[in-house]
Amino acid sequence: QRRVTVQLSRDADEAEAQLARLPDMTALQRTDDRWHFLAGDLPAVLRLLATLPVEDVIIEPPSLEDVFLQYYRPEPPHHA
């Protein structure tokens, strides 16, 4: 996974809904006009970002805290 930070110039609410539907995306957080999340499918992220009014994007390896939380996050219950 990669830690992704995206800053958009407009259409913030619509973009948030699109980002939330990305496959393999976790920990979506928004601060003002920036979104922060962990993404496993980087090609899917780049395809989506190409359709949005991106002002800035930062893609970096996950932090140690991100890795720790991902490893120890409880599995959601499976329903039959």
pLDDT digits (tens, 9 = 90+) for 52-69: 889 999 999 877 776 666
Q: What percent of the chain has pLDDT over 70?
A: 78
Domain count, the chain: 1
- What is the pTM assigned to this prediction? 0.72
- The domain in which residue 34 lies consists of 2-72
DSSP 8-state symbol, 33:
T
Terminal C-alpha separation, the chain: 29
| C-alpha–C-alpha distance, residues 9 and 15, integer Å | 11
pLDDT tens digits, 16-50 = 788 888 888 888 888 888 889 888 888 999 998 89
DSSP states along 13-24: HHHHHHHHT-TT
| C-alpha–C-alpha distance, residues 6 and 1, integer Å | 16
CATH of the domain at 16: 3.30.70
> Does residue 11 form part of some domain?
yes
> Does residue 79 form part of some domain?
no
- Between strands 34-39 and 2-8, the pairing is antiparallel
